[in-house]
Chain A
Amino acid sequence: MNSINDVLVLQNVNAKIGTFKIRDISFSVYDNEILVVLGENGAGKTKLLETIAGFLPVVSGRIGLFGDDIANKAANERNIGFIFQGLSLFPHLSVKENILYGARFQVIPDLDREFKKLVHLFKLDNFLDRFPKTLSGGEQQKVALARTLITNPKIVLLDEPTSALSPKERERVTIEIKNTLKKLNKSAIFVTHNVEEAHLVGDRIALMENGRILQIGTPNEIFYKPNSKTVATFFGETNIYDGVADAQDKGITAVKVDGLNIFALGKYKQGIKLKVFIRPEDILLKKRLTKTSARNNFKGVVKRISFKGPLARVFVDVGFTVAALITKQSLEELEINRGSSVYISFKITAVHTVEE
């Protein structure tokens, strides 16, 4: 089960916090990987991190860190870095004392050099004697990272570390955190409820809901190949159809949906029931039928148009209803209204199928 590249391995971990349960969670974090745990508020993301860090007891299951079973170790013996939502800098200690706090309890080889390296890396030279409350959110962020990284943790857990920042700062700091972790070859679990942030930092994303991990994979896998309706709709509404596999040729299957054929990648036995997912942003809308490399082409009538910010969602009835996401500008250029006749097309690779 353990591969040499596994830094952290969770096997069937269960935990109970009041009435909330962490249910049977298994996953691995690989060397130098940032795994994002993505989920709505209340999904149990923080509780999962706290279970790994040792703040919450494990009911059953195994947590392996570089091969050691740490599930029953005290939090201070796990050597796991933790960046808290509110950063939790010690208010009565200066920046320097904050960063050096961990050195009071463990021997850090080359402490002086390590300290200087991190202070330099985070450009904290001028803040060392200041106290946390006099720092900006971004500066506090850096102190929290330096304080954790100086103890050379085996893995870093970050609990919505940018939630206290302004939206403008957030993206910059998120990228900074990612680059720092990569530069120092640190594996990390990064918790967020923000989809864009998840895509920005995650080598892989684990989608969490109600104490369970629903799916784990690269951002593209999660986004384009959801293994369930819940995952598919997490990133906004998507086109989901019930279909039946029909003829198959050279790895391309025709899937019958309401009597029409949608071509998709995959070798399925004829007659097998499939769920078909197509992201609305992968659907091309046209006024006229033009030559296209896309295998799936349909003619239909615009039933409804709804707006969300700069985007328009166009619902086209082609026999079944297809939602397409286009910019308002394209909508105007296309001169599409309710009742317009349109053509839609999408590539075979845009169609994702899951056996039921």
Chain B
Amino acid sequence: MKSREKLTYISFFILGGILLLFIVLPLGRLIFAHSPAIILQELKDKTVLVPIWNSVFLSFVTAFIAIIFGVPLAFLMAKERFGKLEEAVETIVDLPLAVPHTVAGIALLFIFGRQGLLGAFFYNGFGFRITGTRIAVVLAMLFVSLPYIVNSARDGFKKVDISLEKASRSLGASLFSTFRYIYLPLSRDEILSGFLLTWARAISEFGAVIIVAYYPLTAPVKIYDAFTQYNLAVSSAIAAILLVICLSIFLTVRFLVRRKR
């Protein structure tokens, strides 16, 4: 009996271990595939550096915009202000998680493309084309990453005891002051981790971005671009750099979440 138990554990460990290796091995191999010297060399190349910068910076801008629009929405959801539409709103917020990213890109094209609802307005009115610009990159990133900040901030607001709001109000604070001085600071960790998750999601976005803005290249698009031109060296070097950046963000989130517990 005892040895049967052991056998079960051993076989489970082997199966699980294979899975873990399947994750760690390619990523580890990628990071260490290039010597730091080669990576530095690649970074000096503008055609490599600019896409990486585009990815890091534009995803950061995306996360920032996501906070500005997402946190108020999260607050309304946490306070159940949508009444009967509560569930509908939750579903809408989660939709981008369910939509394939290339599909999201095409859908965005219908709105922001040269002949799209808004795109036509800007193009015909001001001669300004949205697609193929940094704005388009941000729009694509925003669409796929918004759910993270909204859901995370909402959970944070929900955890704040309602009596603290009442106490704040009874002491003379308006609703906005209560939001500012009670809800925001008490949900700081959730909002911060929501911001980082949004950022990480945005930085890695490929499908939606490539459809609305092939150029200016972001790192994932550049990786694909180089790969299709049989330049695996450049492709993998950028990939390694992007991986390190994403891992840093991811590990920061993990650290924040663990500290809270």
B176-223 interface (Cβ within 8 A of A): 177, 181-182, 185-186
Alpha-carbon distance between A148 and B167 when the two chains are bound, in angstroms: 9
- Interface membership of B171, Cβ < 8 A: yes
Residue of A nearest to B163 (CB): A88
Residues of A within 8 A of B173 (CB): 76, 101-102, 104-105
A82-106 interface (Cβ within 8 A of B): 82, 84-86, 88-92, 101-102, 104-106
Q: Contacts A88-B163, A91-B186, A92-B186; is A81 near B170 (CB within 8 Å)?
A: yes
Residue of B nearest to A55 (CB): B166
Smallest distance from the beta carbon of B171 to chain A beta carbons, Å?
Answer: 4
Alpha-carbon distance between A81 and B166 when the two chains are bound, in angstroms: 11
Contact of A84 among B167, B177, B182 (CB under 8 A): B167
Alpha-carbon distance between A49 and B123 when the two chains are bound, in angstroms: 59
Contact of B174 among A88, A89, A101, A105 (CB under 8 A): A105
- Interface membership of B81, Cβ < 8 A: no
Chain B CB within 10 Å, residue with most, of A50, A75, A102: A75
* A102 near B171: Cβ-Cβ < 8 Å: yes
* B169 near A104: Cβ-Cβ < 8 Å: no
What per-residue 1/0 map shows which CB atoms of A126-147 lie under 8 Å from chain B?
A: 0000000000000000000001
Chain A CB within 10 Å, residue with most, of B161, B170, B174, B186: B170
Residues of A within 8 A of B186 (CB): 91-92
- Interface membership of B115, Cβ < 8 A: no
Give chain A's interface residue range (CB within 8 Å of chain B). 20 to 34
* A106 near B169: Cβ-Cβ < 8 Å: no
Smallest distance from the beta carbon of A209 to chain B beta carbons, Å?
Answer: 24
* B164 near A53: Cβ-Cβ < 8 Å: no
- Interface membership of A227, Cβ < 8 A: no
- Interface membership of B133, Cβ < 8 A: no
- Interface membership of A187, Cβ < 8 A: no
* A75 near B181: Cβ-Cβ < 8 Å: no
Residue of A nearest to B160 (CB): A91
Chain A CB within 10 Å, residue with most, of B161, B164, B171, B172: B171
- Interface membership of A119, Cβ < 8 A: no
Smallest distance from the beta carbon of B78 to chain A beta carbons, Å?
Answer: 17
Residues of A within 8 A of B164 (CB): 88, 90
What per-residue 1/0 map shows which CB atoms of A57-88 lie under 8 Å from chain B?
A: 00000000000000000111011111011101
* A147 near B171: Cβ-Cβ < 8 Å: yes
Give chain B's interface residue range (CB within 8 Å of chain A). 10 to 19
Alpha-carbon distance between A90 and B177 when the two chains are bound, in angstroms: 14
Residues of A within 8 A of B174 (CB): 74, 76, 105
- Interface membership of B168, Cβ < 8 A: yes
* A75 near B163: Cβ-Cβ < 8 Å: no
Contact of A102 among B161, B166, B172, B185 (CB under 8 A): B172
Contact of B170 among A75, A89, A90 (CB under 8 A): A75
* B177 near A75: Cβ-Cβ < 8 Å: no
* A88 near B166: Cβ-Cβ < 8 Å: yes
Alpha-carbon distance between A90 and B163 when the two chains are bound, in angstroms: 10
Alpha-carbon distance between A53 and B169 when the two chains are bound, in angstroms: 9
Residues of A within 8 A of B163 (CB): 84-86, 88
* A55 near B169: Cβ-Cβ < 8 Å: yes
Residues of B within 8 A of A84 (CB): 163, 166-167
- Interface membership of A253, Cβ < 8 A: no
- Interface membership of A151, Cβ < 8 A: yes
Contact of B166 among A53, A92, A104, A148 (CB under 8 A): A53
* B169 near A101: Cβ-Cβ < 8 Å: no
Smallest distance from the beta carbon of A90 to chain B beta carbons, Å?
Answer: 6
Alpha-carbon distance between A151 and B170 when the two chains are bound, in angstroms: 10
Alpha-carbon distance between A41 and B31 when the two chains are bound, in angstroms: 63
Smallest distance from the beta carbon of A98 to chain B beta carbons, Å?
Answer: 9
Alpha-carbon distance between A101 and B182 when the two chains are bound, in angstroms: 11
* B172 near A82: Cβ-Cβ < 8 Å: no
Residues of A within 8 A of B185 (CB): 92
Q: A50-B166, A90-B167 are in contact. List 17 more A-B contacts (CB 8 A).
A: A53-B166, A54-B169, A74-B174, A75-B166, A75-B170, A80-B170, A85-B163, A86-B163, A88-B163, A89-B167, A90-B164, A101-B171, A101-B181, A102-B171, A102-B173, A105-B173, A148-B171
Please list the 5 inter-chain residue pairs (A to B) with the smallest Cβ-Cβ separation, ordered nearest first: A102-B171, A105-B172, A82-B170, A75-B169, A88-B167
Instruction: Please list 7 pairs of residues, one from A and one from B, whose beta carbons are closer than 8 Å in the complex, sorted by A's number.
Output: A53-B170, A74-B169, A88-B167, A101-B171, A102-B171, A102-B172, A148-B170
